[in-house]
Structures are given as structure tokens and as C-alpha cells.
Amino acid sequence: MKNERVPPFFPLFFFFSFVFLFRWWGNVSKIFDIFYPLIFLSKSRLNFEKKMATKPLTTKTIVKKRTKKFARHQADLFKRIARTSWRKPKGIDGRVRRRFKGAIPMPSIGYGSDKKTRNVHPNGFKSVVVNNVSELEMLMMHNRTYAATIGHSVSTRGRQEIINRAEQLAIRVTNAAARLRAEEDA
């Protein structure tokens, strides 16, 4: 048969048989260099087409100056405020407000992120919430900077339309797998 696929283990068989034959020569590394590419040249690997995901435009490393959350003043003393978010201390004698040495740090502009990497996800894209296909098409020219996030109130059918259109426009969708069921054969 002409179009019969070569099993992926076929080049491996040749590779390991030659390694076994020439092992006593001590030239295994030379043989490895010659036959290792054969592993990746089998027909089954060449015919496999993978759709490449959109890559972000900037790949600057994201550096966070501080990753810990800022603790509220005296959050260690009172259980009721232990898990609350930051509040600015406003007392007249407050050590934290007056920034005494040894007091817990307060948020300030100095902790801000680099402008180029601000609001950028670890995948390299900034996120935009999309509720329908027309909102998605606004990202057409910015598909290397922004990724679409489908809104939580969008129906399953609407999500499918958005995902199909995003695939055509090569726009990354961060939550593409959410609320999608596999189509059942009837």
C-alpha cells in the first residue's frame, strides 16, 4: 500500500539496533548523531499537523516587586480583621501611618509594576472580557497584545460562536474550554 503510515517505533528499532551493534567500538555518540534524526522523520510524525497558538508580541520578563499581600495594621492581633484587605491606617499616633522603622510596610507607588508588563498575564497577553462576536472582532488587529476572556454570562452557544470566530482571527481565548460540552452523536 502506498499511503500506509510507518509506525513511530520503526526508526527507533533501527536506532537501537545500531547502537547495540557498535557499542563495543566506543563510538556510540557518533552513531547517536547519525541516527537520532531518523526518530523524527517517520511519516506519522511528518503528517501530524499541529495548529500553532498565537504568540505574544512582547516577551519581556514580568518582574513583581512584591508578591505578598499587604497586611492590614494589627491584623495579627484581631481575628476579625486577619483576612481582610488593606486599609490605610488613619490614627493620630499610628506607627504604620508614620512609617516607623520595624512597622509593617504600607502600599506606595514604588511597588508599582513596569509599565510594559503591567496587567500582563503569565501567558504574555493582556486580558479583555468579550461578550459577543462583535466585541471579539475589535481585537482583530491586536491579537498579539490582547487575549479574549469570555464573560461569565455568555451562553454555551454564544461561547462556541466566539471560539470559532477567534480561531479564524487567530485570537487567543483564555477560557476557551469553559462550559463547553462534547457534541453527542445522535
pTM for this one?
0.63
* Helix extents (H) in the chain: 10-21, 28-35, 43-47, 133-136, 156-169
Q: What residues does 129 pair with on adjacent strands?
A: 149
Total number of residues shown for the chain = 186
Q: What is the mean pLDDT of the chain?
A: 82
Q: For the chain, what percent of residues have pLDDT higher than 70? A: 69
pLDDT tens column, 134-147: 999 999 999 999 99
* The pLDDT of residue 72 is above 50: yes
The helix (H) or strand (E) run that includes residue 21 is: helix 10-21
Confidence of residue 59 (pLDDT cuts 50, 70, 90): confident
Between 23 and 111, the higher pLDDT residue: 111
What is the mean predicted confidence (pLDDT) over 159-166? 96
Give the single-character DSSP code of 138: G
